[in-house]
Structure formats: structure tokens, C-alpha cells
Chain A
Amino acid sequence: MPMRILQGAIAALFLAGSMANAGAGSTAAGEALYRRGVMPSGALLSGRREGNVTVAGIDAACVSCHRRSGLGTTEGRITIPPIAGVYLFRPGDARIDDEAVPYVGTARVKHSAYTDETLARAIRTGVGADGRALNYLMPRYDLDDATMAALIGYLKGLSPRRAPGVTDTVLHFATIITPDADPHAREGMLDVMRQYFADKSAAARAVAPRLYANRPMMFRVNRKWQLHVWQLEGRPETWEAQLAKKLAAEPVFAVISGLGGPEWEPVRRFCESQGVPCLFPNVEAPPGRDDDFYSMYFSRGVLLEAQLIGEQLHDTAGRARRVVQLYRAGDVGAKAAAELQAARVASGETTVTRALPVRRSPGDVADALKDVASNDALVLWLRAADLAALQGVPAHAAHVWISGEMGGLEQAPLPASWRPVTRMAYPVDLPGQRVVRVDYALGWFRIRQIPLVAQKVQVDTYLACGLMSETLNHMVDTFVRDYLLERVEMMLDHRALTGYYPRLTLAPGQRFASKGGYVVRFTEPQGPKVAAVTDWLTPEAVAPRTLSARALSARAQSAGAP
């Protein structure tokens, strides 16, 4: 019980702290109301629906239904309209020709314009611009005049104006590559992107026509695509500043794909602080959380593997004397080992984590494993070259786990003598099951004569480009960065061709599209045949540090409950 109160207090402090220096009239106050459901006083916003059902905090916040962009959404048969200022303060049918008010499928076509007074009345009493009741789903809010002014001011500031990086004829995108990224994968990824962008630009014609209809049409976005390669240099501490400079010099609509090594946090911070969508970078240990808004990932990669292995260790019959982890310094295995170490803390069992030197030397892997005994469990966060170096090294441990992501999945060159005791974390679909979805990309690579140098990275990159393209096609002429992310959330489920992943799904408050993995074993002494020893598992990844703002708010509310 004390823990819940403490967490509630921390959450409340967090919420209150974010309101510091925000007077009722400021944008910060409006934003806190809109995005977090927090009043200028620090109290939770409260909304009331028919039948006296109340909602509070983030559930009462405008963002929950009208979205961060303010452009609304659809859920089932319910259409939630846009509330960005231009949609409220101009009459519905004046909008068709108005470039400042781009088409969104959720807009109410026939309604009168609101004024500040009628909008305040609508928010307080649920009576719309035309004197009719608003939709049942819309709560009523008892806001004082100053708070109401802050909220309405914020709505007026929400603009669907065309984002930077979009001209009448060109869409600008960037891709980000860190200096510690794998050079082979880098070339493979850029080959895919350059060819994809060339294809998109070949199809483009002249200036995109204006849309003169209020019907949802599949609108062919006839703009060329231009790729800016943002190659970072030097120490990670300098990357965020480098990216900010590049963005200022080359404004882009969004960042697609990209390639990183163990450090991606500065890039994540750049995307969040600058409000730039960063879609599906090729990173094996993504630093983000579900409540980041701007970054989306295919999978948690080796961090997911650490959770899978952690749960397997927990379930292994006959407890190991200790768990020994091995990784090579400077590689992403360090992050995975830390994740597993943290997950193991609660188990009370000994976990020994060893780092190999950055540069490989003959026998260093064997040396690091000299003291491993048969009642140890071994977790190897190693690349293919180091797995191959296990040749001739006796496999003493009764249970060994390796990373599929790092080792090369079923191509991992694990020596025959290790195979009977080894299980591989496998955060993608099984080879036989993913054939058709991956072949689609491989076929395109063959036709376009793109050499296969890093198959998974290249297939994932092709997938990211395709998702961007499909999502933009459905956005008509509405190039708003937040809206891009919201549309991806809505549309991703529908995609059948999901490359390596059995399923991709996102939603508001979800940023990792594939949520699980298998544990597999090699079925033969040599070669890439694997079989699953588990079903597709979705491990618990809800350590307190990964809880989203929504969950923190929920905790705060529960802690304060009578």
C-alpha cells in the first residue's frame, strides 16, 4: 500500500511539476488540459456524460478522442470530428475551397461556425453551434472563464497547416544513420531506399491537383519523393545538435527507416523534441517507450529477446546455480544484458554478466566461458563471428540461450556440439511461415537488381517505405506530422504483407508494432533448419520504468481513491 501511495505522489508531482509556471492564460495551460487532462491548478480535468458517468484526467482529455493533431478519428461507426481551430471557427461548407483547411474524413460538412462564446457553451453544456446536442460521447466540462480561454486559445493554435518538407511538387524525407551503424547494412538499406524513392518519383507528374470534393477519395499523391541522408558523426552527445542543424537546413516531413548501433537515444530525443515522425528505424535496442509519440518501431528487438529469455529462465525446471551472460563491449548486447539483469533482480538468483573487449582476439570467447559448469545457464549476446568461434569450445552449460536478432536468426553459425543445449530467441516469424511475405520484398530486390547484403535490414526498410507510401495515399492533401502518426496507428492492422513479422499493430499509446517472438532450436547439426519450442509469446514488459503516462495517471487516481 505505501508503494502505491508513493507512486501516486510521484505521479502527482510529475503532473504538477509539468504545470509549473503555467498561468491560466498561457499555451502551456491549454496544452496540459488538451494533452494530459490537467487543470491549471494541477487538479485533474473532470468531464460528465449523460447518466452521470464521469471521466477524469487523461480519459477526460481532448487528446483521447480528438487526437494530438486535433483532426479527430473514427472508431467503429463513431466519427470524432476535428477541433483544430479552423474546423470550428469557420462554417462547414466554406471549407471545400479553402487551402488552409485541408480535407479530413472526420469533418462535419454542414455546420455553422462557432464563436468563442458558443464554443464555451458547447464545452460546458453540450449544445453545438447549430443549437443541437453534441454526440453522446462528448463530455461536458465545468471550466471557469480563465481555463476555458486557455483551452480555446490552444485549439486556435492547433493548425493543420502544411508541415515543413512538403512543397506542391516534392515530399522531403530524411533517413538517419549513426556512425556506429553496420557499414554493410548501411549500403544495403540505402540501395533499397534510393531505388524506392526513384520509383515514387518516376510516377509523379507535375503539380498535385487540388481536391474539389467532400467525399473520401483515394487521392494519388503526385509528388516526387526526395531522400536526405543524414549521416551522423562523432560522439553521441553531439548527435541531437547535428540533427537539429540538419533539420533547419533541410526541412523534411518525416524520417523513414534509418540505421543505428547501440546508441539511438539522442535520435529518439530529437524526434520527440522537434515533433518529427521517425518511422521504423533499423535499431536492435530501441530506447523508446509506448508513450513516446514520434518514434515507431517494428519490434523491441534484443530487449524483447531479453524478456523472452528471462521468462524462459524463470520457467526452466531445475534452477540454474547461476546465469552467466556474455556480450561484446560496444555492441547492442550490452543493452540486452542490462535488460535481462534488471528482469532477473526479482528472482534472487545469481546473474554474472561479462563483457568481452571491443576488439575480437582469438580465444577470447573460450576464455570467458572457462568457468561455466553444467548447472549454469548461459546467455550469449553474440554476433555470428563470435558464435562461430564457439567451434571447439566445450558446451558445459545445461541450458544456453542466444540472440536470434544478433546471431543471424536461422543463419546463426552455431557449432553442432552446441546445438542440442541451445535455444534461440526469435523475435520474428518462422522461416516457413513468412516465406510469402518476405518473398514479396526479395522479388522486388531482384527486379531492381539490389544486392542482398543484409536481408532483414533491407526487407524491413522496404516495409517501412511501403507503409509510408500507403499511409500518405490515404491522407489526401493533409500533410500534418502528428496526423501521419495517427493514420499509421489506424491503418497498420490492415496490412497483409508484413515482412518478417507475423503481425503488425499499433494504436494510440503503442509504439512497437510487433510484440512477441518464438523460442526455437536447431533441428540439425548443420544448416538453417529450426523448430519452435514455444508458441508465439508476448512477454510482460511492464517494469515501472516503462509505464506510460496513462498508466501513471491511473495509478495516481487509484492511489487517491476512497
Chain B
Amino acid sequence: MNARLAGLLLTASVAGALVASAGAAVADSSEGHIGAQEERGTAISSSRVTYATPAVRLMRADGKPVSLPGELDDGRPVVMNFIFTTCSSICPLASQTFAEFARELGPDASTVHLVSISVDPEQDTPARLTEYAHKYHAGSEWQFYTGTVDASLSTQRAFDVYRGDKMMHTPVTLLRAAPGQPWLRLEGFVTPNELLHAYRALLAAR
């Protein structure tokens, strides 16, 4: 087990405390490179954060108008990310990870709620999200959400993923074992294996 995975497990298993731990980041050392921080390695940072779920209404990809708190607080553990269907670099990887995660859970997949919320709701109509869901073989445990721009923005702000514009989004995965508990926030590209370990550790510590 590598150091990074151990770090994730440690974080996930500490209950009720706000712990921020930086994963083993491999920083790129090309000085003179302009501006943007280069994520050469698979740098994951994890923290436990309490978020207040905003009382917004969203549209589920199956066409049903829903309340976000209702969707997140049905008792199931939640694994959540934010995507948009025309995103061609980050989101396919994040969604592929969710698909692999669900596959590896096997029969346990029916007990988790995978949530993907669109940050481009005007483009991502329910039909487009359904198309996207088919592409990743999403089972009924994995739901996609869109809605008005205001509802999407409120949701993004509430979970601190809003970065001004969809092109500025960063890979974030949020996990919560049960309603009322804090969220485990994973920043960076988490592999299906890492997601699985973090999820199981989170449930074990519940």
C-alpha cells in the first residue's frame, strides 16, 4: 500500500475531526514555467469538511424535478462529483472512475448513491445527461442532475467547487457516509482503487 493510500485511509477513519492532509504530491520543478501549477503526479489532498446542503430544486436526468437535500439525505452514503457533458479532459476520467468504482462494489453498489451534478446546466439537458450516463453504463445507483443556472451555481458554491466558469473546474470528489456527517473532500484525480478504499474506510468509521 503506497503512502498516499495510507494517508487517505487515515483521514477517512478519523471521525468528527477536521483534518487536512496533503497527499504525496510530485511537484513539477520546471521553473520558468508560466503560471499554472502543474500536476505531474497524482496529487490528492483530502480533508473533512461540513457543508450545508442548499435547499435548491434540481432536475434529475430521468426528468424528475427533485430537491437536492431530498436526494442527498435519503440515508444512503453519497459519493458526489461535478461534471459537464462536453468536458473532454477532466470529466471523462472522473466519470470513468465512478463507473469503475460502481463495478468494483458489485452487489454493494445498490447501497451507495453516486451523484453527478452538471456545472453547465443549460447545455446539459436531461436527455444529454441520460446519453452521458449510458456512455458510462450508469446503474440506478448513479444519478445525474441539472436544472436552472441559479440552482447549479448555488449547489456549486455550497460545496466550494465554483471556480468562476466551467473551464476552470478542478477534479473534486466528495464522500459522506450518512446524512448529518461531515464530507470527505478529495481534490485531484482519485483512482477507482483509492476511491474504493476511502469509501470503505469512511463506512467503517461511521
Contacts and interface: CB of A to CB of B under 8 A. Distances in A.
Interface of A: 49-51, 53-55, 58-59, 63-65, 73-80, 105, 108-111, 132-137, 214-216, 290, 489-490, 493-494, 503, 505, 507-510, 515-516, 535-536, 538-542, 547, 550-551, 554-555, 557-558, 561
Contact of A510 (B86, B126, B132): B86
A542 B128 contact: yes
A78 B134 CA distance: 27
B124 to A, nearest CB: 9
A53 B37 CA distance: 24
B35 A75 contact: no
A65 B92 CA distance: 11
B86 A561 contact: no
B33 A108 contact: yes
B134 A111 contact: no
Interface in B136-150: 137, 148-149
Nearest to A67: B88
Contacts of A59: 88, 92, 96
Which 6 A/B pairs are nearest by Cβ-Cβ distance?
Answer: A51-B191, A76-B170, A64-B88, A554-B135, A509-B86, A493-B165
Given A64-B92, A133-B41, A109 B30 contact: yes
Binding site of B, secondary structure by majority: helix, strand, loop or mixed?
loop
Contacts of A555: 131, 134
Contact of A490 (B30, B34, B167): B167
Contacts of B169: 75-76
Most buried by A among B30, B34, B38: B34
B6 interface: no
A493 B36 contact: no
Contact of B38 (A79, A216, A510, A538): A79
Contact of B122 (A105, A509, A516): A516
Given A51-B192, A516-B122, A216 B39 contact: no
B42 interface: yes
Given A111-B30, A503-B149, A507-B84, A78 B39 contact: yes
B120 A51 contact: no
B34 A214 contact: yes
Given A64-B89, A135-B40, A509-B88, A540 B120 contact: no
Contacts of B192: 51, 53
Most buried by B among A75, A509, A554, A557: A75
A49 B125 contact: no
B206 interface: no
B1 to A, nearest CB: 14
B88 A216 contact: no
Interface in B18-54: 26, 30-42
Interface residues of B, number: 54
A109 B32 contact: yes
Contact of A507 (B40, B42, B87, B90): B87
A135 B38 contact: yes
B111 interface: no
Given A75-B169, A505-B122, A558-B135, A214 B32 contact: yes
Contact of B96 (A53, A105, A510): A53
A214 B33 CA distance: 8
Contacts of A133: 26, 40-41
Binding site of A, secondary structure by majority: helix, strand, loop or mixed?
loop
A535 B36 CA distance: 39
B30 A110 contact: yes
B96 A55 contact: yes
A59 to B, nearest CB: 4
Given A133-B41, A507-B166, 10 more contacts: A51-B193, A55-B93, A65-B89, A75-B168, A76-B169, A136-B42, A510-B86, A515-B123, A539-B125, A558-B137
A276 B50 CA distance: 50
A426 B188 CA distance: 42
Contact of B93 (A53, A507, A516, A535): A53
Contacts of A54: 96
Contacts, number: 156
Contacts of B134: 554-555, 558
B157 interface: no
A74 B36 contact: yes
B170 A77 contact: yes
A205 to B, nearest CB: 27
B125 A136 contact: no
Contacts of B123: 505, 507, 510, 515, 538
B135 A109 contact: no
A76 B87 CA distance: 12
B34 A137 contact: no
Given A76-B170, A538-B125, A105 B35 contact: yes
Contacts of B194: 51
A493 B167 CA distance: 9
Contact of B37 (A77, A111, A503): A77
Contacts of A109: 30, 32-34
Given A215-B34, A540-B125, A50 B170 contact: no
A344 to B, nearest CB: 17
Given A51-B194, A64-B92, A75-B167, A105 B34 contact: yes
Contacts of A515: 122-123
B7 interface: no
Contacts of A550: 86, 88
A110 B32 contact: yes
B189 interface: yes
Contacts of A79: 35-36, 38
B89 A137 contact: yes
Contacts of B191: 50-51, 53
A134 B189 CA distance: 15
B34 to A, nearest CB: 6
Contacts of B71: none
A78 B127 contact: no
Contacts of B84: 507
A540 B36 contact: no
22 contacts: A51-B97, A51-B191, A51-B194, A53-B191, A53-B192, A75-B87, A76-B169, A77-B37, A78-B38, A79-B35, A79-B36, A111-B30, A134-B40, A137-B189, A493-B167, A505-B122, A507-B120, A508-B88, A515-B123, A516-B122, A536-B149, A558-B135
Contacts of B128: 542, 551
A551 B32 contact: no
A134 B87 CA distance: 21
Most buried by B among A64, A77, A216, A507: A77
